[in-house]
Amino acid sequence: MEEEAKPEYNTRGKGGFEATYFIYGMVALENIGCVGNIVSLVLYLRIDLPGAANTLPNLMVSALLLSVVGGFISDTYINRFHTCLIFGMVEISALLMMTAQAHDEELQSASCDKFFCMTRRSAIMFSTSLWLWALGSGGVKGSLPALGADQFDQKDPEEAKGLASYFNWLLLSMLTGTLVGATVIVYISTIEGSHKWWKGFLITFVCAYVGFIIFAHGKPFYRLQVPGKNPLVRIAQVIVVAIKNRKLPPPESPSELYEINERESASTDTKIAHTEQFRSFDKAAILPKDAEPLPWTVCTVTQVEEVKVLTRMLPIIASTIMMNICLAQLKIFSVQQGYTMDRKLGSLEVLAPFVPLIPLIFKIILIPIYEFTFVPFARKITKHPSGITQLQRVGVGLVLSALSMAVAALVEVKREHQSLKNPLKPISLFWLSFQYGIFEIADMLTLVGLLEFFYKEAPSGMRSLSTSFTWISLSFGSYLSIIFVETINAVTESITPSKQGWLEGQILDQKNLNLFYWFLAILSVLNFFNYLYWATWYKYKKEDTNVSTMAKLISISGVSLLETAEDESRATNGEYTTEHTEVNDRKV
Residue 583 is predicted with a pLDDT of 34
pTM for this structure?
A: 0.82
Residue 529 burial class via C-beta count within 10 angstroms: exposed 0-12, middle 13-18, buried 19 and up: exposed
- In whole angstroms, give the CA distance from residue 239 to residue 43: 49
Q: Where in the chain is the domain with CATH 1.20.1250.20?
A: 7-227, 311-542
Provide the angle, in degrees to the nearest 10, between the axes of the packed helices 17-44 and 197-217: 170
Residues with Cβ within 8 Å of residue 120, at least 6 apart in sequence:
none
Q: What are phi and psi of 149, to 5 degrees?
A: -70, -30
Residue 400 in this model has a pLDDT that exceeds 90: yes
pLDDT tens digits for range 575-586? 333 333 333 333
pLDDT tens digits for range 116-163? 455 667 777 878 888 899 899 999 999 999 999 999 988 888 888 888
- In whole angstroms, give the CA distance from residue 24 to residue 170: 6
Residue 455 in this model has a pLDDT that exceeds 70: yes
CATH of domain 311-542: 1.20.1250.20
Instruction: Give alpha helix (H) positions in 218-295.
Output: 231-244
Residue 387 is predicted with a pLDDT of 86
Q: How confident is the model at residue 49 (pLDDT cuts 50, 70, 90)?
A: very low
- In whole angstroms, give the CA distance from residue 389 to residue 366: 19
pLDDT tens digits for range 58-86? 777 888 888 999 999 998 888 999 999 99
pLDDT tens digits for range 228-281? 788 888 899 999 999 998 888 888 788 888 887 654 554 445 778 888 888 888
DSSP annotation of 86: H
Is the separation of the CB atoms in 514 and 413 below 8 Å? yes
Fold adopted by 7-227:
Growth Hormone; Chain: A; (1.20.1250)
Question: Which of 41, 56, 36, 57 lies closest to 183 in space, CA to CA?
Answer: 36
